[in-house]
Chains A and B, each alone.
Chain A
Amino acid sequence: MRAVDALMECLKAEGVDVVFGLPGGANLPTYDAFYDAGIRHILVRHEAGGGHAAEGYAKATGKVGVALGTSGPGATNLVTPICDAMMDSVPTVFITGQVRTELLGTDGFQEADTIGITMPVVKHSFMIRHPLEIPRSVHEAFHIARTGRPGPVVIDIPMDLSRADIPYEPVSDVRLPGYQPTTDGNQKQIRLAAKALANARRPVLYVGGGVVHANAAEELTELAMFDRLPVTCTVMALGAFPAPHEQWLGMLGMHGTRTANYAMDEADLIVAIGARFDDRITGKLSEFAPRAKFIHIDIDPAEISKNVPAHIPIVGDAKNILPRLTAEYRSLEPDPQRLEAWWTRIKGWQQRHPLAFEDSSDAEIKPQYMIKALYEATGGDAIVTSDVGQHQMWAAQYYDFPRPRRWINSGGLGTMGFGLPAAMGAKVGCPDQQVVCIAGDGSVQMNMQELATCSQEGIAIKVFIMNNGYLGMVRQWQELFWDKRYSAVDMGRFPDFVKLAEAYGATGMRLTDKHTLVEGMREALATEGPVMCDVRVTAEENVYPMIPAGQAARDMVG
């Protein structure tokens, strides 16, 4: 059979039911194979949209997301999603076309060194050099993408090889001697960790996106609940612990709650689970959690002691480790009384420093209010995607996520334009769920062409644009740290999102009055098909509280 038909067989064997892509010259054979392969292909308007859709699909379902592009510009347009998937450990496979082998290295039409360009931002990549390599490479790619610390894998297939006639035999194993991720945590280390926990007076569980990837939210909750441990999550992990909850401190980091950041500052034991001590979490590294000892649980050994030295490292899968840790910890029968003083201190912070904003006295919609309204309108149980900027932080602060895989955003790379296509991918993966995108008026314009895809395919996402007419987060920094010299942040009131939505075949709405906001949102949610709502909010509002970059948690402002 043709190598591309074998490719389809491999995709089906990997359980792929949908891919996002855009055809071109170098992947014509692949698209010919899609014609009757029985795999749903969603034609995106820009490869970056397809890549982020694959990420959204993967984050919402936990399955591997797949995106395709042709050679040259098709592949380079995928670079941002690939890098984004690398930073946030999203299981994804990207299949790119390449010029035929005799043209390789000659600057042929639409030739780009895809493998070279993507090498720094992939978990692994396969340059196909012989058609017989295709089936094995595809299975290895999926295996690498979804196991260990998940990530993006690129497969680059020259056009002539994809047309080759090959004998196809299903591949049932992978042979990767250099890739053996450790999943079982070391029992001795787990015992040590349990002991440290049982003796801690001021412990905090610091939870990262790894817990979501590991599907270990339940195991985490069980650990936290049994000894009433305080829990905080990074922006990648919201929902891993059910919010709101009396043990929930809120998000930590630059725009985290004071309670969470102060708790980290005063903790005597921090248990980092699937988290990587990013600079947005630690602030000034030398003053980060100065009193704490660290237990660091991660499947990637390179994360252990990368930024903050771990006293008790445990390498492995959180789903494997957490129940064993809970069991060991339980058997030590820790005295619950020992945490009383700590909880009194935490409750004090919670009372003194709740997340708060000054609401308008008229019809003006404050951005924070907009998130609360959306929480109410969606019943708090939508899959929410976001772009990057102020709206993302407000969404993270004010929308309480009760479960994992409900909050989908670009954390590590911070990719504007992520939200809308990610919502599209999430909706394709979870058609029965309510999927909303909280976008910024700046961000949304970076990938809004996918609204056409949504209209054509009947993908009913609901986009709520927090429209303040600015690149708001940059404006905030210019206001606070650069003497209000607003340089290149004013977006005006362009475009007219309502007309644009209609032009794309979606429903456009504009919401400007606080008093009818929830109602308007409900109407948008109840409207069939894709909807884009232009929500006009206060133009110059800042995200608070905030740890100014490079400072310590106790220097929080606002």
Chain B
Amino acid sequence: MGEPGTKELLSLDELEAAGNLRTGRKHIVSILAENKPGVLTRIAGLFARRGFNIDTLAVGPTDDPDLSRFTLTLDGAVHPIDQVTKQLHKLVNVLKIRDLEPEETLARELAMFKVAADGSSRGELMQLCEIFRGKVVDVSRRSLVVEVTGTQEKVDAFERLVRPFGLIEMARTGEIAIARGRGET
């Protein structure tokens, strides 16, 4: 690559190659933070300025009204997950961070799909729905809204299957996660 600070030209390919590392394992990071104004901005801002890419983010209350739980999924190849968690720990409002082990974690997300469904394709669509334990939550003359919960991978699979029918809209929450067994998340 061109030496930094010098007049040597830098090709766009070189620049892009540096930014396109992926394929690391998916990480689910669970953050327990004080339920105070601006905490979401602090966490999101930290990711942005350190160049960490968030794939999904879900925020909600916990059993303690003073605390919120943030569940993030990200790709561990782009930045070492270790550096992500250490930087998060420096936020004063963040109390606890866990990089959850996939085998010991239950992860779910909720997705809603609005799919084109006229008479001919409706039956097939309903079958798919059943296989994925989805629920039809809205029906109109030419479309269905289906609700599916599951892991990110399951929702991805459902998406791939319904896309050919004519996917009009989709909304996903991003995963939330909790540790299996008695242990704390």
Contact = CB atoms under 8 A, between A and B. Distances in A.
Interface of A: 115-116, 119-120, 123-124, 127, 129, 144, 176-179, 300-302, 304-306, 477, 481-483, 548-551
Nearest to B87: A302
A116 B41 contact: yes
Contacts of B83: 302, 305-306
Given A481-B7, A548-B5, 20 more contacts: A115-B38, A119-B38, A119-B41, A123-B90, A123-B92, A124-B92, A127-B37, A127-B38, A144-B92, A178-B33, A178-B95, A304-B86, A306-B83, A477-B5, A482-B7, A548-B3, A548-B6, A549-B3, A550-B5, A550-B6
A392 B7 CA distance: 25
Contacts, number: 57
A124 B39 CA distance: 11
Interface string B25-65: 00000000110011001100100010000000000000000
A120 B89 contact: no
A129 B38 CA distance: 12
A115 to B, nearest CB: 7
B34 A178 contact: yes
Interface of B: 3-7, 33-34, 37-38, 41-42, 45, 49, 82-83, 86-87, 89-95
A477 B45 CA distance: 34
Chain B contact residues: over half helix, strand or loop, or mixed? mixed
Contacts of A178: 33-34, 91-95
A120 B92 contact: no
Contacts of B5: 477, 481, 548-550
A422 B95 CA distance: 36
A179 B89 CA distance: 8
A443 B64 CA distance: 52
A405 to B, nearest CB: 25
A179 B92 CA distance: 5
B3 A302 contact: no
A550 B90 CA distance: 29
The 10 closest A-B pairs by CB, nearest first: A549-B5, A302-B86, A550-B4, A124-B92, A481-B6, A179-B92, A550-B3, A178-B95, A549-B4, A120-B49
Q: Is the interface of A mostly helix, strand, loop or mixed?
A: loop
A176 B38 contact: no
Contacts of B82: 305
B94 to A, nearest CB: 5
Contacts of B37: 127, 129
A549 B38 CA distance: 38
A120 B4 contact: no
Given A115-B38, A116-B41, A306-B83, A483 B92 contact: no
Contacts of B87: 302
A427 to B, nearest CB: 33
Contacts of B89: 301-302
A42 to B, nearest CB: 29
A62 to B, nearest CB: 22
Contacts of B7: 481-483
Contacts of A120: 45, 49
Contacts of A176: 92
Contacts of B49: 120
B95 to A, nearest CB: 5
A279 to B, nearest CB: 8
A483 B8 CA distance: 11
Nearest to B80: A305
A551 to B, nearest CB: 7
A300 B90 contact: yes
A324 B37 CA distance: 42
Contacts of A300: 90
A305 B7 CA distance: 31
A178 B34 CA distance: 8
Nearest to A306: B83
Contacts of A548: 3, 5-6
